[in-house]
Amino acid sequence: MRRALLPALGLLFCALAQADGMPDTSPAPLPPTQPAPPPTAPGSWPMPDAQPIAYAVLIVSRERLDTGTACDIDLYVQDQKVSRLQPEGEVALNLPPGETSLRLQTASSGLCHGGIEPLRGQSVTLHAGEVRKFRIANSESGLYLVPVSSGG
């Protein structure tokens, strides 16, 4: 029992010494040299540093009246419908770099009926970090995308 009282008496003595104004002789705690790693859940894998994912931005707009139709236009990327553009509408898409297939089709809704029209596909090559803008135009062979220069 005497051994259990010794540490308690030592703490009491230190507390009394500080209360009496005696200088603290205990060593100052050392600052950590490196931050502690975040705690991990048991059984979890350590996460590698996340690498930034590079995308290209594709902007498609109906700013002008070059489409020749007041009907909505569906935009397909890689044969997946991604957007329906109304007159004066615009959409911006984050896409992975590389070759991308694009297609336009008049939407079959309301008074508009797509009917039989040529499904003319286009292909664009996108680079990481690039912003490409296209506008929708119409010709005898159907709807297509026209590149818009960066100046206007």
- Chain segment 12-41, per-residue pLDDT in tens: 555 555 555 555 555 555 555 666 655 555
C-alpha span between 75 and 134 (Å, rounded): 12
Provide the domain count of the chain: 1
Q: Is residue 19 part of a domain?
A: no
pLDDT of res. 96: 93
Q: Is residue 90 part of a domain?
A: yes
Q: Is residue 39 part of a domain?
A: no
Assign residue 104 the CATH number of its domain: 2.60.40.2890
Q: Is residue 126 part of a domain?
A: yes
User: Going by C-beta distance under 8 Å and a sequence separation of 6 or more, which residues neighbour residue 136?
Assistant: 60, 61, 62, 66, 67, 73, 85, 104, 143, 144, 145, 146
Is the confidence at residue 81, as pLDDT, over 60?
A: yes
Q: Is residue 73 part of a domain?
A: yes
Instruction: Print the domain residue range for 73.
Output: 56-147
Is the confidence at residue 66, as pLDDT, over 60?
A: yes
Q: Is residue 120 part of a domain?
A: yes
Q: Is residue 41 part of a domain?
A: no
Q: Quick one: which of 114, 109, 110 has its CA closest to 143?
A: 114
Q: pTM (2 decimals)?
A: 0.60
Summarize pLDDT for 94-146 with one digit per residue, the tens: 999 999 999 998 887 766 765 556 567 899 999 999 999 999 988 888 888 99
Q: Is residue 21 part of a domain?
A: no
pLDDT of res. 106: 86
pLDDT of res. 12: 54
Q: Quick one: which of 114, 26, 45 has its CA closest to 73?
A: 114
